[in-house]
Amino acid sequence: MKKNTRRSAVVVCAAASALGLAAGPSSAVPSTVWTVTPSPSSFQAANVGNIVLTATIPMTCTTSNAAGVMNSATGNPGDVADITTMNFGATGSPCTSVLGNVTTTSVTPWDVVAVDYTASTGVTKGYVGNVKANVTAGACKFTVAGKASATYTNSTGVLAVNSVAGELAVSNPVNCGAIVTTATKPTFKGNYAVKQAGTGIIPTIVGSNP
C-alpha cells in the first residue's frame, strides 16, 4: 500500500510539473500600453539599403523616404505611428525592374502597428498596415494593398519591413500579362532609419502591461 501511495504521489507531481511547463508560455501577457518617446513626434525616415517590392519580378528602389507622426497608444494591437508621406524613387534615381522604370504612388495614411515588445532587446514586432500603392512598371499597371510585417529596434531606430507572401494582394492589373495577376502575392522588404523631424533624435517604443 505504501509503495502504491508513493508511486501515485510521484505520478501526481510529474503531471503537475508537466502542466506547469505547458502553461508557462501561454501565461505571458501581451503589451497593452505603448510608450513612444518623444510623443507626439513628427518623424522622418530614409531607406538604409535597397527597398524591394517583388510581384513575380523584383522592383528595386535605391531611394525611398517617409514622414508622419508617432504617438503613444493603448491596446493590442496598438497604432504607434501614422505614415502620411511615403515616396519610392526620386528624380534621377528611379525605381527599376526588368519591365522598365517603376513609378509607385502611395495612397496614405499607412499605419505602424505594434503587437509584441521584447524588453531585453528593445525590439517591437508588428506590421505596417493600411498599405496601398499604385504601381507602374513599364506598361504594366496594378495596385498593391494589405499589410507588411515589420520590427522596430530602439537602439538603431530602424524600422525593418519584411513582409511574407499573402499579406499583400494585387488588384486591377493592366497590360501585365501573366507576370502580375490577381493571384500574385507581392512582398515588400527594406529597412528605414527613423528620426524625429528637426532634431535627429531616434524615437523609442516601449511596450508594457501595467
Q: Which of 85, 99, 90, 123 is closest to 204 using CA atoms? A: 123
24-33, 39-48, 159-168, 174-183: the lowest-pLDDT one: 24-33
Distance CA 122, CA 137 (A): 38
pLDDT score for 210: 81
Task: Provide mean pLDDT across the span 109-121.
Answer: 97
Distance CA 1, CA 7 (A): 10
Sheet of 204-208, strands arranged across: 73-74, 33-37, 204-208
Distance CA 169, CA 185 (A): 6
pLDDT score for 30: 87
Task: Provide mean pLDDT across the span 120-135.
Answer: 98
Q: Write phi, then psi, for 13 (nearest 5 degrees).
A: -65, -40
Statement: the pTM of the whole predicted model exceeds 0.75: yes
For the record, the C-alpha cell of 89 comes out as 524613387
21-25, 95-99, 127-131: the lowest-pLDDT one: 21-25
Whether 14 shows a pLDDT value over 90: the answer reads no
C-alpha torsion 194→125→112→95, nearest 10:
60
Give the pLDDT band of residue 25 (cuts 50, 70, 90).
Answer: very low
Distance CA 50, CA 93 (A): 12
Cα distances (angstroms) measured from residue 118 to each of 6, 30, 52, 121, 155 = 43, 10, 27, 6, 13
Which residues are CB-neighbours of 136 under 8 A, at least 6 positions away?
102, 103, 104
pLDDT score for 94: 96
Whether 137 shows a pLDDT value over 80: the answer reads yes
Beta bridge partners of 100: 97
pLDDT score for 133: 98
pLDDT score for 1: 46
Greatest CA span in the chain, whole angstroms?
A: 88
